[in-house]
Amino acid sequence: MKIKLLLTVLYIMFQSSMFAQTAVPEYQAGDKQEIGIYEHLDENIPENVMLYNSDSVLINLKSLINKPTVFSFVYYNCPGLCSPLLDGLAEVIDRAEMELGKDYQVITISFNPSDGSSLGKAKKINYLNQIKRPIDASNWIWLTGDSANIFRITDALGFKYKKEGKEYVHAASIMVVSPHGKITRYLHGTYFLPFDLKMAVIEAQEERSGPTINKVLKYCFSYDATGKKYVFNTTKITGTVILSGALILFLVLAFLPRKQDNIQESK
């Protein structure tokens, strides 16, 4: 009974450890979805989203999508995640084998209704200057809009944020949509590998959705923003190995006496 009880406790500890390490920190308790990224793979973006481009022209968002499209949500005076996200996006555009304009396009949408097209145009120029390779600049599209239309597109893509004072609390991710408007991939964080973008664009072109397989990798690795590299989560993995080893050991101890008793009885 003691062994069984100990095994039960170890199992609960192991499961709790795994959950604590893999749970999305932005997810909050309750029925209402709060700040975070909620993946809506295989769903389609809405038809009736009307936003303003950099020239203050009102356009239907869906009409812009005729190739694999990378979406990013920011607000232009963000003091936090938005700048690293856009830096990461500019960097991966610069480094990726895929060609912006030919293979895919990028649409950046401000989720602050107070942001205007002129500010968006200035921000676009700033981040285009970070890209050294020749690109078709018209295929990095910057949009603004009113709160109703912003909500339609952020809600469709599962981007949940909250206004606190004059600022917004939000997560960081880019979303990839197929030429027919189907959501096919999410790439989380503010740094993106060229290979990940390439595979996401290929999947979108083929109308195939891909699971966020980097969730498994993120359990083993975390991204060091200062050093711009992934580092191995030694403490996390060591703890998991120790718990797993203890569980296996007690399973062996629990079944070994039974086998020895059977041997003695047979004699």
pLDDT in tens, 37-56: 999 999 999 999 999 999 99
Show the domains of the chain with their CATH numbers: 2-22+234-266 (no CATH), 36-230 (3.40.30.10)
Task: Identify whether the C-beta of residue 201 lies closer than 8 Å to the C-beta of residue 103.
Answer: yes
> Percent of the chain at pLDDT above 70?
71
- The helix/strand/coil state of 113 is coil
pLDDT of residue 5: 47
- The helix/strand/coil state of 195 is helix
- Greater confidence (193 vs 235) lies with 193
pLDDT of residue 8: 53
pLDDT of residue 266: 55
pLDDT higher than 50, residue 249: yes
pLDDT higher than 70, residue 61: yes
**Over the stretch 130-154, which tens digit does the pLDDT of each residue have?**
999 999 999 999 999 999 999 999 9
Task: Identify whether the C-beta of residue 97 lies closer than 8 Å to the C-beta of residue 104.
Answer: no
pLDDT of residue 174: 97
pLDDT higher than 70, residue 34: yes
Secondary-structure breakdown of the chain: helix, strand, coil percentages, each rounded to the nearest 5:
45, 20, 35
Task: Identify whether the C-beta of residue 197 lies closer than 8 Å to the C-beta of residue 109.
Answer: no
Structure tokens at 124: 């676009």
Query: Which element (helix H / strand E) includes 192?
Result: none
Cα–Cα distance list, 181 to 68, 80, 160, 166 (Å): 9, 29, 20, 32
pLDDT higher than 90, residue 113: yes
- Beta pairing partners, 60: 50
**Over the stretch 183-201, which tens digit does the pLDDT of each residue have?**
999 999 999 999 999 999 9
Structure tokens at 113: 């209704």
Residue type, 14: F
Strand order in the sheet with 105-110: 140-143, 105-110, 69-74, 173-177, 183-188
- d(CA 125, CA 173) in angstroms, rounded, equals 21
Task: Identify whether the C-beta of residue 43 lies closer than 8 Å to the C-beta of residue 156.
Answer: yes
- H helices, E strands: number in the chain: 7, 13
Burial class (CB in 10 A: 0-12, 13-18, 19+), 178: buried
pLDDT higher than 80, residue 36: yes
- d(CA 199, CA 256) in angstroms, rounded, equals 49
What global pTM score does this model have?
0.70
Average pLDDT, the chain: 81
Where does the pLDDT of residue 246 fall: very low under 50, low under 70, confident under 90, or very high at 90 and above? confident
- d(CA 17, CA 170) in angstroms, rounded, equals 26
- d(CA 170, CA 81) in angstroms, rounded, equals 8
pLDDT of residue 228: 40
- The helix/strand/coil state of 36 is strand
pLDDT of residue 27: 36
- d(CA 212, CA 184) in angstroms, rounded, equals 10
